[in-house]
Amino acid sequence: MWEARPGRKAGDCSDEVTLSCKGAKSRTSGRNLRSTGTKARTHVDRLRASNTDLEEQLKASRRELAEAREHLAEALEQQTATSEVLQVISSFPCDLEPVFQSMLENATRICDAQFGNLYLCEGDAFRIVAMHGAAPGYAEARKHNPLVRPPPDSALGRVAITKQPAHIADVKTTRSYIERDPFLILGVDQGGYRTIVAVPMLKNNELIGAILIFRQKVEPFSDKHIELLSNFAKQAVIAIENTRLLNELRASLQQQTATADVLKVISRSTFDLQAVLDTLVESAVRLCDADMAAIHRLRGSIYEHAASHWLTPAIRDYMTKIQFEPGRGTIAGRTALERDVIHVTDVQDDPEYTLGASARAMGARTMLGVPLLREGIPIGMIVLMRRVVRRFSDREIDLATTFADQAVIAIENVRLFYEIQEKSRQLELASQHKSQFLASMSHELRTPLNAIIGLTEMMCTNAARFGTEKAQEPLRRVNAAGTHLLGLINQVLDLSKIEAGKLELNPQSLQLAPLIDDVVDTARQLAGQNKNRLVVETQENLGALTVDPMRLRQILLNLFSNACKFTKQGQVTLRACRVLADGRDWIDLAVADTGIGMTAEQQAKLFQDFTQADSLTARRYGGTGLGLAISRKLARIMGGDVTVASEAGKGSVFTVRLPVGLEKSAAV
């Protein structure tokens, strides 16, 4: 059996085996056989090298796939955390605490940290507003002193200075820790942290806070962790801004609602100022986040308690007994003295405040005084109080000022109402005295005047017998003047009776046609004075009318007198007819003329007492301006009215409309 030559493996002699089996026929054939064997070995080597490369590529692909899966898992975890935070933000639009807690929980979990803190800027310091995973002793200490001023080489201090992320691999290597700064000593000794990363919360490049996460061993955070924490900080800023805008919108709506409520109370409580002031102090306490509120009003030269909210009965009783004067010793007195808003952060530390014992009894710390100004003079003030040292915001001060303005409006409304009421009472009393005087004087004047008229008539009639023919014409003039004066006195008497509500009617049921004939006969003499033609147009069967005949004659003669006075060589027409209006039967008596007419402006004031169309007309035509006013008042007392239709230069039509059945009207 064939054996391999020393130094060779069996597989390496494939060419020799082939040669032995087939036989070597020539040198060329041997060379060909050896060449074929060399090529086979080369091919096998290449296959082996290719397999090695494939194995390396496979290992590399597996590593890349593992890294990709790891990155994908990290990205998925980050996206899930971000989604959770956004969901919390949408679920709690007005409450930041659950949002901050969700951020810290996700940040510490994903970044493999032990605990985290979230701070908000407050002046030159930071206030801790959220913690997650902190040791109980550390958490309690931070809650007890939430306002901190970190050293500049701490992570939070670096963020405050640079507004950039700060990463400290080992806090024990910082100078502040070595110098035993309390802020860092507390964190290391009770919080147990070593590695810290802090990222800023920025709004328009303004630092509003920071997020910090901690590891309790020296193990620096990766850039991805810092980037993730920065994204959470951006979300925190968005949440804070959303909450701020929503709270501002809600506060604005509350303010508008409160203002509307107060104005509604003001409009409904014209006589009840106390209800308005009580509403104001209640709204001020609620919307300005105060614990107590009071309003003091000026009485003479001092200010007294007028309304309050959330004062205990004992304190309210005490406040009602205090009288404030302008001065520095009280917030109310200081507000009156300065005539401006007074804002004291802590009255118990104010050396000028003299009611220290009272302030301690009420628990008052921060106080705000806003004056109630009328024409620059303080007529009162509204005082707001808090039991904690916390200043009122600008929005709250503006709102308190609005309430103060509304209090001034309410006080002024009540004052003016009572002033107007008193003036009305005085005017009513004066009007009654005037009416009584006019009625009394009219009666007194009529007696001698009637005597004069009677004597002159008798002397004119018997002039021949008395031998006074030469005095007959002057006596007629005296008689005419006396008659005219008596008419004027009767008009004044009627007016005084109407105003006093003492005019009495004597209604009678009568046929209208005979009354019209009687009035027309009298009116013919008036028409003849200016050569006017008198025309009567009446409907047949006018029937009966229930009316005071004397007052109806008075109205018609007044209208005829006016028509004849303002018409020369024209026509005066009386039209009478029945009409149906508003489901009732009426009688219309219209006196039309072709005289000078009136403009719309003249018609607007035509029925006012002692008023004529204009001064030129009064001088030219005379008259007192009472006839038409009294005629309308009489018609309205009898349930009807007097109206006018006129056009300048084209005449006028005065229409008396009366109900067929007399009904006394209240409109006088």
- 584-625 pLDDT, tens digit per residue, is 899 999 999 999 998 888 888 788 765 655 555 555 555 556
Who wins on pLDDT, 389 or 255?
Answer: 389
- Report residue 242's pLDDT band, with 50, 70 and 90 as the boundaries: confident
The DSSP-derived string for 359-375 is: HHHHT--EEEEEEEEET
Q: At what angle do helices 223-268 and 273-287 cross, to 10 degrees?
A: 180
Q: Is 467 helix (H, G, I), strand (E, B) or coil?
A: coil
pLDDT score of 21: 45
Longest dimension (CA), the chain: 205
| Average confidence (pLDDT) over 494-501 | 68
Residue 174, beta-bridge partner list: none
Q: What are phi and psi of 406, to 5 degrees?
A: -65, -35
pLDDT score of 216: 94
Residue 212: pLDDT over 70: yes
- Report residue 667's pLDDT band, with 50, 70 and 90 as the boundaries: very low
- 63-99 pLDDT, tens digit per residue, is 776 666 655 555 555 555 556 655 655 565 567 888 8
Residue type, 655: T
Q: Write the CA distances from 611 to 515, 516, 560, 604, integer angstroms.
A: 29, 28, 18, 11
**Nearest residue to 358 via CA among 399, 402, 311, 422:** 311
Q: Lowest mean pLDDT of 76-85, 158-167, 243-252, 524-533, name the range.
A: 76-85
pLDDT score of 362: 82
pLDDT score of 477: 73
Who wins on pLDDT, 452 or 186?
Answer: 186
**Nearest residue to 498 via CA among 536, 554, 414, 570:** 554
- DSSP annotation of 637: H
**Nearest residue to 113 via CA among 234, 222, 2:** 222
pLDDT score of 92: 58
Who wins on pLDDT, 591 or 432?
Answer: 591
CA distance 539 to 576: 6
pLDDT score of 78: 55
pLDDT score of 607: 80
Residue 323: pLDDT over 60: yes
Burial of 180 (0-12, 13-18, 19+ CB in 10 A): exposed
CA distance 434 to 425: 14
Q: What is the pTM of this model?
A: 0.47
pLDDT score of 9: 45
CB 544 within 8 A of CB 506: no
Which stretch of DSSP H or E encloses residue 406? helix 394-461
**Nearest residue to 188 via CA among 170, 162, 165:** 170
Who wins on pLDDT, 489 or 542?
Answer: 542
Q: What percent of the chain has pLDDT over 90?
A: 37
| Average confidence (pLDDT) over 282-307 | 92
| Average confidence (pLDDT) over 139-158 | 93
Residue type, 203: K
**Nearest residue to 350 via CA among 339, 334, 337, 338:** 334
- 357-400 pLDDT, tens digit per residue, is 777 778 899 999 999 999 999 999 999 999 999 999 998 999 99
pLDDT score of 20: 44
Q: Lowest mean pLDDT of 480-484, 554-558, 662-666, name the range.
A: 662-666
- Report residue 32's pLDDT band, with 50, 70 and 90 as the boundaries: low
